[in-house]
Amino acid sequence: MVALCPSPVPVPTPVSPVSPVLSLRVTTVALGKHRLYAREAGEQRRMVARRVAHPGYDPSTKDNDIMLLKLVAPAAISERVRPIAVASCLPEAGTTCVTSGWGLGYTWTHLVAPGIHLVLQCVNVTLFSSAECRRFYPDSITANMICAGNVQGGTDSCQGDSGGPLVCRGALQGIVSWGMERCGQPRRPGVYTKVCRYARWIRDTMDDT
């Protein structure tokens, strides 16, 4: 991430979609957070009651890279913490979306921010078609993945952003999944879990928990 995000990104509640890799040891979540290590007014902390990984998750390919966290107590909806719509369909290629996190700040030529950011960052990225995504990463893209970034490079999610949101037109379209070790390279966009493929699974899992 390279740009300051002016406000926290809305957080889905009471069950939040995230990446299984990050969630195996998560016992507490912080909602409405902006500064990573500071306790802030309006921040909410909730214990995790249950983790539900997608049964088809493949750690070798990152396919079905999604897990739901059920909180012990519901979040309180506020100015800093709001639910977000889960996408039911994918917008057209070329749509501008926003991704956010506290991860490394890379350009494709050098590291611009050693270590993770202390303040939440966000950046605009462009959604690519499935065909473009497969051309960028032959034999690595499944039907459950989408790509977003910039053909010329320079804007991307990075290490430390995994599990973060990709928001398009006010809906959660993706979850940061994987990409190149050196982020922001030309023709090497970030790869995200395609959330609309899991809308029914999310609803069914929430009903069962």
Q: For 179-204, what is each residue's pLDDT tens digit? A: 887 888 888 999 999 999 999 999 99
Q: Do residues 59 and 147 share a domain?
A: no
7 in a structural domain: no
Q: Is the pLDDT of residue 4 over 80?
A: no
Q: Do residues 99 and 71 share a domain?
A: no
Q: For 123-176, what is each residue's pLDDT tens digit? A: 999 999 999 999 999 999 999 999 999 888 888 888 888 899 999 999 999 999
CATH code of 109's domain? 2.40.10.10
Q: Do residues 67 and 116 share a domain?
A: no
Q: For 28-58, what is each residue's pLDDT tens digit? A: 899 999 998 888 999 999 999 999 999 999 9
> Residue 87 in contact with residue 172, Cβ under 8 Å?
yes
DSSP codes, 163-193: T-EEEETTEEEEEEEE--SSTT-TT--EEEE
Q: Do residues 50 and 92 share a domain?
A: no
Q: Do residues 116 and 144 share a domain?
A: yes
2 in a structural domain: no
167 in a structural domain: yes
Comparing C-alpha atoms, which of 161, 151, 152, 79 is closest to residue 113? 161
DSSP codes, 16-46: EEE-HHHHTT--EEEES--BTTS--TT-EEE
Q: Do residues 57 and 115 share a domain?
A: no
Helix (H, G, I), strand (E, B) or coil at 113: strand
181 in a structural domain: yes
Q: Do residues 74 and 166 share a domain?
A: no
For residue 38, give its domain range: 15-83+198-208
Strand partners, 122: 100
154 in a structural domain: yes
Q: pLDDT tier at 114 (50, 70, 90 boundaries)?
A: low
Q: How many domains does the chain have?
A: 2
96 in a structural domain: yes
Q: Do residues 203 and 140 share a domain?
A: no
9 in a structural domain: no
Q: Do residues 45 and 76 share a domain?
A: yes
4 in a structural domain: no
